[in-house]
Amino acid sequence: MQKFFITIFIVTMQPFLAYSSAFSTTARICYYNERDYVRAKKACLEAIKIEPNNFELYGILSGSEIGLGNWQAASAALIEAINIDSLKTLTWIDKKGGGVQYFHQAFYFSAQELFYKQNYTQVLSNLAYATLLIPDDIGTQILSGVTLYKLGNFDEANKEFRRVLDRDPENPDVLFLIGKSLFEAKNYDASLSYFANAEKYYDLRYARIAQMIFQNRAEIDKALAQRIIMLWAGKKMNELDSLLKEDLKFDKGLDVHKVNIEQYYKTAIDLARNLYFNGMAYYYLHGDSLALNKLRQSLELTPGDLDALFFTGELLTKFKNYHEARGYFEKLTQLKADDLNAWFYLGVCYTQLKEYNKAVDVYENKVLPLDPENIGALTNLTYVYNELGNKEKVIKYSEQLEKIKKEK
């Protein structure tokens, strides 16, 4: 009787094993050969029910989730693989799985998502796994430092930043990345020193390349520098070639100096970006004068920066410098015709400058078509029309305001 039972058991297991193998094989083929992440994921999930201790299935599942952009699921699957057999999993990642960089994403981007959800303890857990894959990754170390800042572990946070900077302490790009990470974490005070140091080294880099570009002039021409940046950004190479020949006296123009111009553009953009974030850090710390100074410096390099234009104009309205603020909002609305807030502030500037007809035109033809129930615009229209002596329009907009207020 016992023998009969064993025979039956073995016979019934054979299709079970074949079923398991089919799912595993499908997962491998879909992942390795076809990069069909949806099918690979499905096959992995089915196979894992049968082979729960198969580290490779969890590795393939993680790789599939990475391909689908599901960072939390990707990191969870990879942790399962490591827990089953860390050595085999790391060997598999290195040799077969698609590369360390690819799987590093699972931990890094899941940590980034968790950071924005303020789950800081779990962030550090994911980053520990990320460090297991790439021990000296700059992004991992910076995110770790910022997370430690959020947890109040300032000494440990600064150690992480120090580890990054020890490799290249005068690298403005690294200094900026640390500052920007702290800025995005709303640690504005902490970000300022990094932006200041980044600016120092960006300035040196900018000065070197700018001297090369403006070698045939007594000094750097700011207006000309802006034109170079705008032309390069707009890919207007023929105009840029003419500028180099006519204004900067480079006989061979862009043919010879293209590399230098590209380097100049990148350096100017990097410096301007750092100045912008530095200014915005002061902005959120209510250091309005310092913020305005940095934003203006940023716009000297990149005059078409929409955000810098807006916040510069806004700060100028705070200082009641409506005449100068108007210029920034006029330029911004030329560049972005559907910017509701910029149009509203432009209307405010016209109102304060007693240019009432321009104010009416902005409120009625620009702001209200974008936001018909804009209380600020309706309120200002009642004021402007009262100043113009148009009682009919005052009544019209007053009634609209009352109706909106009742509905809310």
- The CATH number that applies at residue 347 is 1.25.40.10
The number of folded domains in the chain is 2
Question: Of 208, 195, 228, nearest to 297 (Cα)?
Answer: 195
The answer to whether residue 360 is domain-embedded is: yes
Whether residue 367 contacts residue 377, with contact meaning beta carbons closer than 8 Å, is answered with yes
- Which one of 95, 111, 132 terminates a domain? 132
CA gap 219, 255 in Å, rounded: 24
Mind listing the pLDDT tens digit of every residue in the chain (408 residues)?
344 333 333 333 344 344 455 778 888 888 888 889 999 999 999 999 999 999 999 999 999 999 999 999 999 999 999 999 999 999 999 886 668 999 999 999 999 999 999 999 999 999 999 999 999 999 999 999 999 999 999 999 999 999 999 988 999 999 999 999 999 999 999 999 999 999 999 999 999 999 999 999 989 898 999 999 999 999 999 999 999 999 999 999 999 999 999 999 999 999 999 999 999 999 999 999 999 999 999 999 999 999 999 999 999 999 999 999 999 999 999 999 999 999 999 999 999 999 999 999 999 999 999 999 999 999 999 999 999 999 999 999 999 999 998 887
Please state at what angle helix 188-213 crosses helix 172-184, rounded to 10 degrees.
Answer: 150
d(CA 299, CA 124): 38
Residues 6+ positions from 5 with CB-CB distance below 8 Å: none
Of 117, 132, 147, the last residue of a domain is 132
Residues 396/368, Cβ–Cβ less than 8 Å: no
Range of the domain at 73: 19-132
Q: Is residue 173 assigned to a domain?
A: no
Residue 185 lies in a domain: no
For residue 392, what are its two tokens? 């009919």
Q: Which residue, of 113, 132, 151, is where some domain finishes? A: 132
In a domain, 86, yes or no: yes
Burial 167-195 (b: 16+ CB within 10 A, else e): eeeebbebbbbbbbbbbebebbebbbebb
Q: How far apart are alpha carbons 79 and 82 in whole angstroms?
A: 5
Residue listed under structure tokens 């050969």: 33
CB atoms inside a 10 Å sphere around CB 337: 11
Which residues have C-beta within 8 Å of that of residue 138, sequence separation ≥ 6?
Answer: 164, 174, 177
Give me the sign of the Cα torsion angle 40, 45, 48, 50. negative
Residue 107: inside a domain: yes
